Amino acid sequence: MTPMDVRQSLLRGGYEPLPLVGKRPIIEGWQKRDQTSAGDIEIWSKLYPHATNTGCLTRRMPSLDVDILNADAAQAVEDLIKDRYGHVLVRIGKPPKRAILFRTDQVFKKITANLAAPNGVSEKIEFLCDGQQLVVNGVHPDTGQSYCWHGGEPGQVLLAELPYINGGEAQQLVTDIVALLEADFGYRRPQHKGNGADADLAGASDWNELTANILAGRALHDSLRDLAAKMIASGTSPGPPSISCGR
């Protein structure tokens, strides 16, 4: 199937597709899109022929992103979800990381639980929803291999057939996953400080973790955002005022 065919199939299945370059949406203001038509998809194929990957907005398709590198732990998370929700669609991009799809009509904000693996590497569990998107078709930019699915594939499986979840249930699921990873696989939550804009499931990652992530290039966008929020919340000065020269 061509990217246009994939997107038309997703649209017919109730999803909200997006054209991507790698993992990046190519359309400005994509976070606020509320309706896509078959005509839009045809236009995208003409305007953005280089955008060969396809994503879906997660606003009505909340997606649990299991961003951990322990294969047994990732499988245990998947098994926990299957025990609770039954049949699910599972996307594999860069194994053993995986994403699992749900549906909702009660849009909620992204839920993030930052974790430290037993070897000290920063990993995380995220529930993507309002303002995010997930790659569902194409080639992973790091592996050079196609994204693959088991349990079915969106488009072939209708959005209405995915397991339903709301924000409270999503929060509880993330809490239970973190408890599983701590109890059975030696993960731990980083020391947390702060609240409000820089908070995740139990508070923001501390300064050291965020700095280490940025230096290592891990979760770069989120780490830069959270570090900036912590600096503002702590009262860091924005610097001297700019000086305007001229007549």
- Structure-token pair, residue 163: 């397991």
- Asked if the model's pLDDT at residue 24 lies above 70, the reply is yes
What is the spatial distance between Cα 247 and Cα 140, in angstroms, rounded to a whole number?
A: 53
Q: Which residue has the higher pLDDT, 232 or 153?
A: 153
- Structure-token pair, residue 203: 């508070």
| Model-wide pTM > 0.75 | yes
Listed range (15-19, 43-47, 74-78, 227-231) with the worst mean pLDDT: 227-231
Look at residue 191 in the predicted model and tell me its pLDDT: 73
Mean pLDDT, to the nearest integer, of 65-79? Answer: 98
Residue type, 148: C
- Asked if the model's pLDDT at residue 200 lies above 80, the reply is no
Look at residue 216 in the predicted model and tell me its pLDDT: 52
What is the spatial distance between Cα 231 and Cα 12, in angstroms, rounded to a whole number?
A: 45
Look at residue 198 in the predicted model and tell me its pLDDT: 38
Whose CA is closest to 137, among 4, 47, 6, 5? Answer: 6
Sign of CA pseudo-dihedral 142, 146, 152, 156 = positive
pLDDT tens, 115-137? 999 999 999 999 999 999 999 99
Classify 133 in phi/psi space as left (phi over 0), alpha (psi -120 to 50) or beta. beta
Look at residue 227 in the predicted model and tell me its pLDDT: 72
